[in-house]
Amino acid sequence: MQPLSIRKLNVWYGKQQALKDITVDIPYHQITAIIGPSGCGKSTLLKSFNRLLDLNEQVRINGQILFDGENIYAPGVDVTDIRTRIGLLAQKPFPLPMSIYDNVAYGPRIHGLANGNLSQIVTAQLQAVGLWDEVKERLKDPATGLSGGQQQRLCLARTLAVQPEVLLCDESTASLDPISARGIEELLRGFKDKYTLVLVTHDIDQARRLADYVIFMWLGELVEHGPARRFFEQPQQELTQAYLAREIG
C-alpha cells in the first residue's frame, strides 16, 4: 500500500524546469529520505506533496500525485483538506505570533477537532514531542521566547495536532544545534508506526541514520531510489556512488 504515488511529475519555475518526469512511490509508515545536493529539486518535490508549491505563481505543474488513490492536482480537489492530511515541518522553526498553547491549539480549533477537550489535545501533543515538562508552567507565554530546538519541537506538535497521515520534513534539523537536531531525529524515528514520513536532507549521514527508503535527486531528475540498506550498500548508478563517496555535490 502506497499512500503517495508520484506519476510523471514535471515542475517549471517560469521557463526553468525544476523537476523532470518524476515517478516514485512513497512507502507506508516508513521514513523516506530525499537526498541530493542543494538546488537539485528535493524541496520542490516535497512541497509538491501538499500543494504548497501552488503559492508561487511562477510555478507550472503537470503530472499526477496520487494520495490514497486520488490525484491531488485534479480540479475540484479541496486543497485545505490535502494540507490537513499531509503535514509539513518547515526548514526553520516558525512559531506563529501567539502563545505556546495557541500555537498547538490553532489547528484543532479551525478544524473543529477539539470537541471541548482542546487542552487535552495540546497537552498530549506537547508530551509527544517532549516539550511538556519544559513549558507547562508558561503555556500562555509567547512562543517566540523558546529556544530554537524548543521552537522546532513546538512546530512539530502544532503539525501533529491536526492529525495528519503523512508528515513532511524540509531539512527540519538544518538550522538547529547538533543536540537539538538529534532530539528531533529521535522523535521522528519514534513516529514511524503512526505516520508516513518524508524528509528532505542534504546530510547523507542523517539519511543513513533515519531512512528506510531513499530517493536520490540530481539536477531535477530522480537518479535512484530504493530501500535504504540496498541504496547505501549497493548503489546501482555511478552518480549515486560518486555522491555517497562525496566526490560530487
Partner 1 sequence: MKRKKLRRAEDLFFTWVMRACLMTAAVVLGLILFVIFWRGIGALSWEMVSQPPSGGFYLSQGGGGVFHAIVGSLYLAAGATLLASLIAVPVVLYIHVYSPNGRLANNLRLALDIMWGIPSIVYGAFGFALMIYLGMRASLLAGIITLALVVLPILARTFDEVVSMAPRHLHETTFSLGSTRLEFLGVLLRQTVPGLLTAVLLAFGRGIGDAASVLFTAGFTNNMPEGLLRPVASLPLAVFFQLGTPFPEVQARAYASALILTVIILTISILAQLSISRLGRHVIR
Partner 2 sequence: MEATPDTTIRPLPAKKIAASRLSRWRWFKDAGARTMLGATAVIICLLIVVITAALTARSWPILSAYPLAELLTGQVWQPMRGLFGFAPFIAGSVAVTLVAMAFAVVPAVFSGMYLAEYTSSRTRSALKPLIDLLVGIPSVVYGLWGVLFIVPLVRDHIGPLSDRTLGQFFPFFARTNPSGYGLLAAGFVLAVMVFPLIVAVTEEVLRSIPREMRETLLALGATRWETTRCIMRRAALSGTLAAIVLGFSRAFGETLAVMMLIGNTPRIPSSLFDAAYSLPALIANNYGEIMSVPLYESALMGAALLLLIVVLGFNVMARLVIMRLTKRS
CB of 84 to partner 1, least distance (A): 9
Partner interacting with residue 112 (select from partner 1, partner 2, none; CB below 5-8 Å by kind): partner 1
When the beta carbons of 29 and 85 are compared against partner 2, the nearer one is 85
When the beta carbons of 161 and 187 are compared against partner 1, the nearer one is 161
Partner interacting with residue 29 (select from partner 2, partner 1, none; CB below 5-8 Å by kind): none
Partner interacting with residue 3 (select from partner 1, partner 2, none; CB below 5-8 Å by kind): none
CB of 57 to partner 2, least distance (A): 4
- For residue 149, the SS3 value is helix
- For residue 78, the SS3 value is coil
Phi, psi torsion values for 121, nearest 5 degrees: -60, -45
Please report, as ranges, the residues that interact with partner 1 according to CB under 8 A: 78, 80-81, 110-112
- Distance from the first to the final alpha carbon of the chain: 33
Handedness of CA 136, 138, 141, 146 (dihedral sign): negative
Phi, psi torsion values for 237, nearest 5 degrees: -95, 150
Give Cα 200 distance to the centre of its chain. Answer: 7
When the beta carbons of 110 and 248 are compared against partner 2, the nearer one is 110
Single out the residue of 12, 82, 69, 72 nearest to residue 44, CA to CA: 12
Phi, psi torsion values for 173, nearest 5 degrees: -110, 0
Does residue 180 come out as left (phi exceeding 0), alpha (psi in the -120 to 50 range) or beta?
A: alpha
CB of 223 to partner 2, least distance (A): 28
CB of 21 to partner 2, least distance (A): 26
CA distance 215 to 22: 11
When the beta carbons of 110 and 245 are compared against partner 1, the nearer one is 110
Please report, as ranges, the residues that interact with partner 2 according to CB under 8 A: 50, 52, 55, 57, 80-81, 83-85, 87-88, 90, 92, 94, 96-98, 106-107, 110-111, 155, 158-159, 162
When the beta carbons of 95 and 235 are compared against partner 2, the nearer one is 95
CB of 125 to partner 1, least distance (A): 20
